[in-house]
Structure 1
Amino acid sequence: MTTLTRRTVLATAATLPLAPAMAQQQPGMTTLVVPFPPGGSTDALARQLQVGLQARLGRTIVVENKPGAAGALGAVTVAKSPADGSSLLVTFDSHAVIPAILQRPPLDVEKDLAPVLLVGTAPYVIATNAQRPYRTFADVVAAAKEKPNTITYASVGVGTIGHLAMTLLAKRAGIEITHVPYRGGGPAINDIVGGHVDLICGSAALITPQIAGNTIRPIMQTGHQRLAVLKDTQIAAEAGFADFEALAWWGVFAPAGTPQPVVDSLSKAIKDTLSEPAAVKHLQETQQMTLIFGGPQDFSTFFARQIKLWGSVVQDNNIRA
């Protein structure tokens, strides 16, 4: 008797083509690896994909959380998986920082993974506790110049885009402010709401629910256009930081070497799933996401730019995880 294990299921799945006709064939399995703990925006995206892809691909879709090593642990898991569409990485903007932030990265994020789809982007938002006096980022700059290193800001971790964006802004403004890293958005939000730190730089998805509750006040956003829900909050360019942009982004990767027809089929299936009206509404309202749906080539170009931009900030400021 043959023992049915996850390995044998995946081996069987590897022999099945990714095509609409798959629904009539014996179903296989596809694992969506999320390199972060459950509960975050990337995990929510993967679970939203789970149901739609299951119907479109005729496969059993499993979401597996593999946090660790700044997201590299989950990325390595996918990179070492069969290049057949049976394992995908659903990840976040910090993926582009892996080459610079880790002294010995366990993978080459450009060579070991194949971009499938850039789902969307959202700006970062800098906010202050509602009891602090800051109304604009210019107020922060003035206070920091008067008393260097007395203003604190939270991020969701060392080397995250929120941390790097604030590092770059402080450098361009000629100020010194103190970084207080947290392990995730929940603890960071708790401390800005509680007044234990002066500022926070987090994705719009993290910040806007607290703004609605009047516990924190937005003072600047880092996209090129104002979000509708933050129509009264300056973008960085309006605050004197020309061409400055820091974006949260969400994307899907496959193992390098996955045949292009398989990558293209996956890209279309993911796009179609997230183009459903309910999915669009959810992503726009809960993540403040601008949907991009950039295909493999567009995603590859975007990703290379992100690696270059944030890698230089890490290196210039000697930042290490």
Structure 2
Amino acid sequence: MTIKAPSPLRRGLLLLTAAAALAPWGALQAQSYPTAKPVTLIVPWPAGGSTDRHLRALSEIASKHLGQQIVIENKPGGGGTLGPGTMALTAKPDGYTIAQFPLGMLRIPHMQKTQWHPLNDFSFIIGVSGYTFGFTVRADSPYKTFNEYIEAARKQPGQINYGSTGTGSSPHLLMEELAGNAKIQLNHVPFKGNADLQQALLGGHVMAQSDASGWDKFVDGGQMRLLVTFGEERTKRWPQVPTAKELGYGVVSTSPYGLVGPKGMDPAVVKALHDAYKKAMDDPKHIELLDQLNQAMWYRNGDDYRKWAVETYAKDKALIERLGLAAK
């Protein structure tokens, strides 16, 4: 009995079928990513704040390069750690759920026990930007300068308060570090995000606020007074406002952030997300938005972003311990 050899076409189809059967599931998934399903980006702050404004606009541009819609899910709480922490514990590493990774993610675990590890439980995708931090009061505040505010705290220990975007967040820790350097005691009031914080200051519920530049429109509109910023140099937008460094308080902070996914993401999926967001970052509309928010570009690829996170996690452990905020 003669067995007829398969035709070249049929032989090719058989080989493809066999290869597909042997290929890892992740590789096949990566080839089809993203399918007709939106990608969710968790922003761990309330809608309307500076981070939400930034990542919402950036993701709209990135959606066009990715070929799939990217939707924003606001999940505030835990000083910016609730959203990405929940993602690490519950989301599949398929590229359809990612999150902003604020600097607090590398600090909170030194201050309290967490169910997630900031380095081992995440796939690092891309470093994006950093903040311009500033300290503002209401326009009718008796404090015309930052030094006047500090002097009031010196005369009334624990009676002068300020709000921030949460315990362990950069706006909180930079003020704690500054208070230590100035040898004063301030009363800290935490909020879930800067949209809530702005309203609390405008409503007179706190005397001042330490925050990223979500206060920009209120400063420019005359409702708030910007007393100090925390960069290496004065800002282009508010050049008349001194830095904490030049006032002699020895604090500089920009708190870089980027995007991460759950651990175990396929490298091809990480690359697809990285490439879409990198193209979006270079888009003139995004660069214009950064100028409006008074933020700088802080691009890092996934590997470099993870390396930075490892170094920062170790460095900030020393800061937390020095401030007496380490978990017992």
The reply to whether TM is greater than 0.5 is yes
In the alignment, what sits opposite 2:254? 247
User: Does residue 104 in structure 1 map to residue 113 in structure 2?
Assistant: yes
User: Does residue 85 in structure 1 map to residue 95 in structure 2?
Assistant: yes
What 5-or-longer segments of structure 2 have no aligned partner?
1-24
- The structural deviation recorded for 1:294 is 1.6
Contact 1:226/1:233, CA 8 A, preserved across alignment: yes
- 2: CA distance, partners of 1:196 / 1:62: 33
User: Does residue 95 in structure 1 map to residue 105 in structure 2?
Assistant: yes
- 2: CA distance, partners of 1:312 / 1:95: 15
Contact 1:14/1:86, CA 8 A, preserved across alignment: no
Q: Which deviates more from structure 2 when the two are superposed, residues 276-285 or residues 191-200?
A: 191-200
In the alignment, what sits opposite 1:264? 271
- The structural deviation recorded for 1:112 is 0.7
Sequence identity percentage: 27
- The structural deviation recorded for 1:121 is 0.9
- 2: CA distance, partners of 1:299 / 1:225: 24
The match for 2:307 among 301, 310, 315 is: 301
Do the aligned partners of residues 58 and 183 (structure 1) sit closer, same or farther apart at CA in structure 2, a change above 3 Å counting? Answer: closer
The match for 2:224 among 194, 197, 216 is: 216
- The structural deviation recorded for 1:123 is 2.1
The one-letter code sitting in structure 2 at the alignment partner of 1:182 is F
TM-score, normalised with respect to structure 2: 0.80
The one-letter code sitting in structure 2 at the alignment partner of 1:220 is V
Do the aligned partners of residues 18 and 170 (structure 1) sit closer, same or farther apart at CA in structure 2, a change above 3 Å counting? Answer: farther
User: Does residue 128 in structure 1 map to residue 141 in structure 2?
Assistant: no
What 5-or-longer segments of structure 1 have no aligned partner?
1-11
Task: Give RMSD over aligned pairs.
Answer: 2.8
Deviations for 1:124-150, whole angstroms, at most 9, x for unmatched residues? 101223333434333233332233223
- 2: CA distance, partners of 1:232 / 1:305: 34
The one-letter code sitting in structure 1 at the alignment partner of 2:290 is L
User: Does residue 289 in structure 1 map to residue 295 in structure 2?
Assistant: yes
Do the aligned partners of residues 149 and 72 (structure 1) sit closer, same or farther apart at CA in structure 2, a change above 3 Å counting? Answer: closer
- Secondary structure of 1:122's counterpart equals coil
Do the aligned partners of residues 13 and 111 (structure 1) sit closer, same or farther apart at CA in structure 2, a change above 3 Å counting? Answer: closer
How many pairs were matched up? 301
The one-letter code sitting in structure 1 at the alignment partner of 2:232 is H
In the alignment, what sits opposite 1:180? 189
Larger Rg: 2
Deviations for 1:227-263, whole angstroms, at most 9, x for unmatched residues? 1111011112101133x21224331012222243432
Do the aligned partners of residues 208 and 109 (structure 1) sit closer, same or farther apart at CA in structure 2, a change above 3 Å counting? Answer: same
User: Does residue 160 in structure 1 map to residue 173 in structure 2?
Assistant: no
- Secondary structure of 1:304's counterpart equals helix
